[in-house]
Structure 1
Amino acid sequence: MEIKITQQAAKRMQRGYPLLQKEDLLDRIKENEWLDFIDKQGNLVAKGYLGVQNNGVGWSLTTENRPLNHAFFVDLFFQAKEKRRAYYQDEQTNAFRLVNGAGDHLGGMTVDKYGDFVVVSWYNQTLYNKQEEIISAFKEVFPEIKGIYEKLRFQTDQLQSRLLWGICAPEPLYIKENNLTYAVYLNEGLMTGIFLDQREVRGLFATGLAKNKSVLNMFSYTGAFSVAAAAGGAKSTTSVDLAKRSLKKTQEQFAINQIDIEQQTVHVMETFAYFKYAKKKNLAFDCIILDPPSFARNKKKVFRVAKDYGELIEDSVAILNNQGIIMASSNAANVSSKKFQSMIETALQNKKVAYKLIKKFHLPSDFAVDPAFPTGDYLKVYFYQIEKS
């Protein structure tokens, strides 16, 4: 089936940009179609599909004139595996991303490896409809995988998470990262217990960034940053998260790494409420980790990175020791690196403190980013050292 696209969209696709918006289409075609995208003259521009997800209505998968069949997906997965050869040889880490959507020319899907198991995330119905063919190709290229779980990250009446093929993973499943151990649960809803895109940043803590320092980890989830900081010699860690599960999950992570729980504190508390609590108790920290979700809601407040991150920075400065470090992180794809840095530095200027950017991170190389699709590099992590007069 063919669909005509605008000349602007055709030029973008020819340069390798894979994502389509509604306004790029000149024909009306229902979702869930695998298509040849053609220009106004009827020339083939790319092959791909229409499938609505939060950032567009479809993806180009190749500009070559070849069928999108089993052999195509085998080639694609083989190239993805070759890209990550170094990760397979790393004896200190066995959890990383195998396929990163558009970064591996398969927009709408990611695959994460956790030891001998993988989690496949589907972001639209169209790609999911081709699941059998895609998974068959995946198994051919990755025969070492013992079990495949899937997560449906689009609106559907089906189960959001299930074992798709193979044997069940242990619960918890223990993975290695930077020579530390983390407990993950591959079939507990859409989350697994760790965000693999922050591996390099956790590695910085594990190798002593916060040695002999007091660390506050906000939006701590299961405490992975706290574990890395403690393993790297932090004097103490405090983990804060609103979810009740965070207490047990964080304690579990410390226990399996044989880290003394006596020097670690976990609060089940809303972030901004904790800032008020810390000020009231005259608590101060040498290092504050800020890694919020791009959007969060509770009974009292809605948090959006694009609107509210500056408030997080200002509240952190108030309980930061002199020469302390703030790690400011965001995974909001709608906030550019430039805008994010500006938000942080504007907030620091509002607090009238001197600051120095000492380190920054983007996505690690297993989270491959196509140079033609730079918005795929969503992660921004900035470390600032703050001097309070």
Structure 2
Amino acid sequence: MVKIKVQSKYVTKYKNGYPLVHRDMIVDDHLLKKEGSIFYLVDQHQQFIAKAYYGKQNKGIGWILSRKKEEKIDFNFFKEKINAAIQKRKHLFNDQNTNAFRVFNGEGDGIGGLTIDYFDGFYLINWYSQGIFSFKDDVIRTLDELANYTGIYQKKRFNTEGQYIDDDDFVKGKRGEFPIIVKENGMNYAVYLNDGAMVGIFLDQREVRKAIRDQYSKDKHVLNTFSYTGAFSVAAAIGGAAKTTSVDLAKRSKSKTIEHFSVNGIDYEQQDIIVMDVFDYFKYANRKKLKFDLVILDPPSFARSKKHTFRAAKDYTKLVKDTITITEKNGIIAASTNNATFGMKKFKGFIDRAFKETGDKYEILREYTLPSDFKVLDGFLQGNYLKVVIVKKQT
């Protein structure tokens, strides 16, 4: 068993439960050769701290699996962790109105670099490094023994550049007939497990979509920016919005949004679905003096078009400022980010700065982070990456 020494200033951090192995927090990382290999983390006195696996991804070079020196990392280890996670989601498996959710959430459930999602009888495994993928047989066998499934799919979200590997995603069972129409709080969404890195819906926004439908949309004119497949727009329309406008630069976003309206029995021709750079749309809306009662901001952490580059940590304040100008008095802004490099306090600071710079006043109505099925560790704040703030623009 290779012993990797932790730099002395980080020993307490790891002993307090930090789960991610960083190259710059250890010594002798050159001893790590094969992804998937198990190694010990030790302190400067060679005392055992934890047992980890080597797997390179954009966050680090491995994850801690056990704080017990004698614990074996084998099939029984994976079965115990995944079974515990399934038991914690039993209420979701029994929910008649929701059949799409996260079953296993990486380090939050004890195995970093691995997530498992459930879509109405189908399991989707996400592998975030070659290292965790080397345990594929143990994970598949665990699902065979614990889960009653129709089929299993996978996404390999790694290669030498740390990108998604586009190959056949089907693993075993019965192949799905896509799209699979899943339910989320009674709303329908079309899901594709066999069509690239994305499946059509981000499960971590479940509670926010419900709030948009139930609390903020009735009789409102709603703008959904960076709309992807229009999931928020569907929630708003079902919630009684007077009209929704969905804006995204990706050409396929239009057909995907039309599909999502259609599977909910909504006439998409009564909605606006626009393929355009969001920042160009803000300029267009200002020229036309358009105003919205509810604006949804859910940009990627990083986005680039021919004219614009957006980095959440740098540019979110400007995004909110642009939004304020097209938001009605007493209107709502639902500001969201999945950037893990900053916390909720800093995110609210971006919003506060935007309102101060425009001279407008605001009230925070509600905050959201990850739902309970996206289990996170108290000692690993970046794992709780989702931050959503519902803001009311005051007169």
Superposition TM-score tier, normalisation by shorter sequence:
over 0.9
1:285 counterpart residue number: 292
1:187 counterpart residue number: 194
Task: Return the offset for 1:152.
Answer: 1.2
1:90 counterpart residue number: 95
1:67 counterpart residue number: 72
Compute the TM-score of the two structures, normalised by the length of structure 1: 0.96
Specify the SS of the correspondent of 1:5.
strand
1:3 counterpart residue number: 3
The answer as to 2:41 corresponding to 1:40 is no
CA contact (8 A) 2:155 2:165 kept: no
1:17 counterpart residue number: 18
Task: Return the offset for 1:335.
Answer: 2.0
Task: Give per-residue Cα distances to partners, 1:181-209, cap 9 Å, x unaligned.
Answer: 11011111100000000000001122242
CA distance in 1, matches of 2:151, 2:304: 34
Alignment equivalent of 1:52, drawn from 52, 56, 61: 56
1:227–1:119 CA distance, 2 compared to 1 (3 A):
same
Within a 5 Å distance, the mapping from 1:1-389 to structure 2 comes to: 1-6=1-6, 7-27=8-28, 28-31=30-33, 32=35, 33-64=37-68, 65-142=70-147, 144-156=148-160, 159-160=166-167, 162-388=169-395
Question: Which deviates the most, 168-177 or 132-141?
Answer: 132-141
Task: Give per-residue Cα distances to partners, 1:299-318, cap 9 Å, x unaligned.
Answer: 11111101111111111111
CA distance in 1, matches of 2:216, 2:165: 44
- Say what the alpha-carbon RMSD is for the aligned residues: 1.4
CA distance in 1, matches of 2:180, 2:172: 17
Task: Give the gaps of 5 or more residues in structure 2.
Answer: none
CA distance in 1, matches of 2:381, 2:109: 13
Displaced runs of 4 or more, over 6 A: none
CA contact (8 A) 1:49 1:58 kept: yes
Specify the SS of the correspondent of 1:356.
strand
CA distance in 2, matches of 1:238, 1:95: 26
CA distance in 1, matches of 2:187, 2:108: 28
1:364–1:171 CA distance, 2 compared to 1 (3 A):
same
1:160–1:104 CA distance, 2 compared to 1 (3 A):
farther
CA distance in 2, matches of 1:335, 1:319: 27
Compute the TM-score of the two structures, normalised by the length of structure 2: 0.95
CA contact (8 A) 2:5 2:46 kept: no
Task: Give the gaps of 5 or more residues in structure 1.
Answer: none
CA distance in 2, matches of 1:313, 1:159: 35
Question: Which deviates the most, 308-317 or 323-332?
Answer: 308-317
CA distance in 2, matches of 1:88, 1:206: 23
Task: Give per-residue Cα distances to partners, 1:309-344, cap 9 Å, x unaligned.
Answer: 111111111111110000000000012211111011
CA contact (8 A) 2:249 2:276 kept: yes
CA contact (8 A) 1:149 1:186 kept: yes
